[in-house]
Structure 1
Amino acid sequence: MAPDLILLFTNTTEYRRPKVFENILNGKKTVSNLFWGLEYGLLPELGMLHGKNIQIKPEDIGNLIENKLVVTDESGAIKLTELGDQKQRQLSRLLPPLLGDVTKSLRVNQFKDRFLLASQVTSEYSYQNTKYYPLSIQLFDSFVVKRWFQVNKAQLPTALLTPLTQYLTDLKPQLADIFARELVGHENGGQTYQQLALELQVTPEIVELISLHLYTNFADYLMNHSQNTLQPLVTDLWGDNWTTSSKQTYQLFINHHASIEQIAKQRQIRPSTVREHLLEAAIWLPVANFPYANILTNQNSTTNNKEIEFFKFRLKQIYRSKVNE
C-alpha cells in the first residue's frame, strides 16, 4: 500500500492500527473491523479498493518513520508527526469527501468502467464514427452499456452530457478537470493515473482514490435525480453494508422484544453471534434508532459474564463514537 494512502487515514491525536486501513479499503466486514472503521471515521471508505487486495507491508510503515512522517508505539500503531500532518493536509485538499448513505456500498470500479465506455460510445456516435476500438471491460458490463445505448440512442449525446455537465459544474475546478481528463472519446484516449499523478505531484494511488471518490459521488448524484437516463448504468451496482443476518436479528429484537437467548434459539445461532449482530446494527444505525439504554440496563443472561461485559463495553464505545461524530 502506498505510504501516502496510509498517511491519509492517520491522525495526530491517536495511535491507529494500519491493519484497519487495509481491511477497510479491502471491504472486510467483520464486526471488529467495522467498529474500528467507525472509531477512525473511515466507514465511508469501506470496500473502496475492493478487489485490489491492498496490503500494508512493514517497509511501507518503515518508509513513513524514516521520513519522520509518523511515529509508532510498541503495538505497531502509528500517529502523525507535525511533518506528517502537513503532508496529510496537502493530500486531503485534493480528496473530495464522500457523500451519500454510508450504509450503502457501490461497486465503483464497475460503474467507472461502464461510464467510461458509455462516454466513449456516445462521443464516437456524435461524430458518426463506427471505426474505433471500444474500451475493453467485463462482458456483462459491456452488455449493460450496449443495452443502455440502444435505449437512449435517440437522445444522445444530450442524455449523457446534461447530467455530466451538471455534476462537474458543482465540483471544484481541479476535481472537475481530473474527472474530465480521464474520459475517453473521439480522438481522445483519456489520461491515466500515472499521467495525472505527474501533473498533480502525487502518487498514482492518490489519483486513483480521488477518481473513485468522484465516481462514487457521481453515482450518488445520479440516483438522486430520478429522471436521469444514466441511472441504468449504476442501479444494480449498489449493495447494503449492513448484512441481512444482522438485520433479521435486529428485527426480532426490536419488533418481537425477544431476548438474546430466545433469538439464538429461534435462529439456531449462538448468543455470542446474536450480540455480534446487535453490535453491527448499532454501528450502521443512527443513535436514535438503536435501543442503547434498554440493552445496557436490562441485559440478563446465563452466558459467561465476561462476554456480557465486553458486549456492553463495546456498545458504549459505539454510542460514544456516534454522539461525537
Structure 2
Amino acid sequence: MELSILLLIFGSSEQFRRVKAIKNTLRGRRTVSNLYWALQYGMLDFVDALHGVDFDSDEAALNQLQTHGLVKADDSFQFQLTEAGIAKKQQLLSELLPIKHLALGSQYDVAKFMRRFNFAVQIVSEYSYSNNKYYPQSINYFEDQLLKRWFVQTKDYDLPHQFHDLLDTFLSSLNSDDLAVIFAQSLVGHGYSGLTVDQIAAEHHLDPTIINIQLIQMYGALLELVLKRPQDNSFVMLTAGLEKPVIAKSSKETFEMFVRQGNGNLNEIAKKRHIKLTTVYEHLLEAAILLPVNQFPYHDLIRSKMRQYLETIHNENVENWSFEAAQKEMPNLTFFEFRLFQIYRSKSADEN
C-alpha cells in the first residue's frame, strides 16, 4: 500500500504527526511509544488494523506529499496537512466507507477472514455446479483443514442458497453499487477467476491502495454481519480464532498481577515474573493506554504529591509536555509517573 495515502487519511491540519508512529500503529508495532502516539492521534481503534501490510519508505512518502503541496514537514519526519492536503484527504475518504469500518481490523484478523471467505466462495460456487475438478486457491495448511471441516459440516444445509442470501443481504447493506461490484469482482468462482486489485483499480479509475482499503473495510463489515448472527449459523466456523487480544499477553499478566497484589510493589512483580523493572513499567503503560480510564488504577501508581504538582501545570496539549522541564521543578518525578499522568489526562479528555 502507498504510505502517502494513509498519511493523508490519518494526518491532521491541527497537529504535527510522526510518520513512523502512524505506520507502526497501523501495522501493530505495539511499543509503548507507538501506542502513546496512537492515543494522541486518536488512532487507538486502528492499532494493527493493517497487520502485515508492506509500505514504501517514510522518506519517499513524505517527499511525494511535500512535492504536491499536501503537507508541511520538519527534519524529524513529522508532518501537518496543508489546505490542499485537507481537500485531498476529504476526496480519499469520499471513496471509502466511513473510516470506522477499518477499525475492526484492530479487534479481528480481517485479512485472514478475507482469505477464508474468498476460498469458501470458490468451494461453494464449484459445489453448486457439481464440479469437483478445479484448481483451488492457495491457502496455508491449517486454513485449508478448517475450510474442509467447515464444508463437510455445512454442505448438506443448502449451502449455495445460504451463501446467496448472505451475499445479497451484505451487498445491499453497502448502499453502493460501485462497492458491491468491486467486492464481487474480487471473488473466485465457477468459470470466474476474479480480478486482481490492480485490475479492479484500473477499471474503476481508483488507486490500488484505495481498493485494498475498500476490500478490508467491506470484509470487516461482512465479518460483523456474520458475528451478529446466531452462533449456530453456517458461517460461524469461518470466524474461528480471528479475535485479537486488547492487550498483549505478557502485559496483561503483569497488569493482573499488580491488581491481585494490592501493595504496589513493582520490584516484587519483576522478580516473580523474571523480567526487568523497566519491562514492568512498559507493561503497565500499555495497559493504561489500552484500557478504559476507569479500569486502570492511576492513583495507585502516581504519588499524590507528584499528581498534585502535575495537576497545577497541565495544559490542553498534553503531548507537548516536557518531562525534562517538569523534572527540574520536581527532581523526584519519574518518567513512568509523568507518562502515566499524560495518558490519564489524554484519556479523560477523550472519554469526556
Which of 110, 113, 137 is the matching residue for 1:111?
A: 113
Aligned pair partner of 1:218 in 216, 222, 231: 222
Is 1:280 aligned to 2:286, yes or no?
yes
Structure 2 length as normaliser, TM-score?
Answer: 0.82
Gaps of 5+ in 1: none
If asked which structure has higher relative contact order (CA below 8 Å, sep 6+), I would say 1
CA distance in 2, matches of 1:132, 1:86: 47
Counterpart of 1:5? Answer: 6
State the Cα distance separating 1:38 from its structure 2 match.
1.9
Instruction: Tell me if structure 1 keeps the 8 A contact 2:46–2:103.
Output: no
How many residues end up aligned between the 2 structures?
Answer: 322
Whether the aligned pair in 2 keeps the contact of 1:26 and 1:54 (CA below 8 Å) is: no
1:246 equivalent to 2:251? Answer: yes
What residue in structure 2 maps to residue 318 of structure 1?
Answer: 343
Residues 183 and 191 in structure 1, CA contact (< 8 A), matched pair in contact too: yes
Q: 1:172-210: CA deviations, max 9, x gaps?
A: 314333322212222222222112222443321221122
- How far residue 119 of structure 1 moved from its aligned partner, in angstroms, is 0.6
Which residue of the partner structure matches residue 31 of structure 1? 32
Structure 1 residue 245: Cα displacement: 1.6
1:125 to partner: Cα distance: 1.4
CA deviation map 1:37-95 (0-9, x unaligned): 22222233333333334343422211110100111024220111111111111111233
Deviation at residue 113 of structure 1 after TM alignment: 1.2
> Helix, strand or coil: the match of 2:244?
strand
Match of residue 310 from structure 2: none
Contact 1:123/1:186 (8 A) holds in 2: yes
2:301 to 282, 292, 295: 295
Contact 2:255 2:283 in 1 (8 A): yes
Per the alignment, do residues 312 and 99 of structure 1 end up closer, same or farther by CA in structure 2, a change over 3 Å counting? Answer: farther
Counterparts of 2:254 and 2:305, CA distance in 1: 16
2:178 pairs with 1:179: no
Aligned pair in 2 of structure 1 residues 196, 14: CA closer, same or farther (>3 Å)?
same
Instruction: Show the 5 A alignment for 1:11-22.
Output: 11-22=12-23
Q: What is the rounded CA distance, in whole Å, between the counterparts of 2:240 and 2:345 in structure 1?
A: 34
Q: Distance in 1 between matches of 2:172 and 2:206?
A: 24
- Give the Å deviation of 1:299: 8.6
Tell me the equivalent position of 2:274.
Answer: 268
Is 1:153 aligned with 2:155? Answer: yes
Match of 1:56 in 2: 57
Segment of structure 1 superposing worse, 134-143 or 79-88: 134-143
Could you state the TM-score of these two structures normalised by the residue count of structure 1? 0.88
Q: CA deviation at 1:214?
A: 2.0
State the AA in 2 paired with 1:218: L
Distance 1:167 1:288, change over 3 A: farther
State the secondary structure of the residue aligned to 1:34. Answer: helix
CA contact (8 A) 2:48 2:106 kept: no
Which consecutive unaligned segments of at least 5 residues does structure 2 have?
A: 307-326
SS at 1:78's partner residue? strand
The offset of 1:306, in angstroms, is 7.2
Q: Name the amino acid aligned to 2:73.
A: T
Match of 1:207 among 206, 211, 232: 211
8 A Cα contact 1:5 1:206, kept in partner: no
Question: Where does residue 131 of structure 2 map in the other structure?
Answer: 129
Q: Deviations over 1:222-244 (max 9, x none)?
A: 22322322121121232214112
| Residue pairs, 1:161-172, within 5 angstroms | 161-172=164-175
The residue that corresponds to 1:138 in the other structure is: 140
Counterpart of 1:91? 92
RMSD (Å), alpha carbons:
2.6
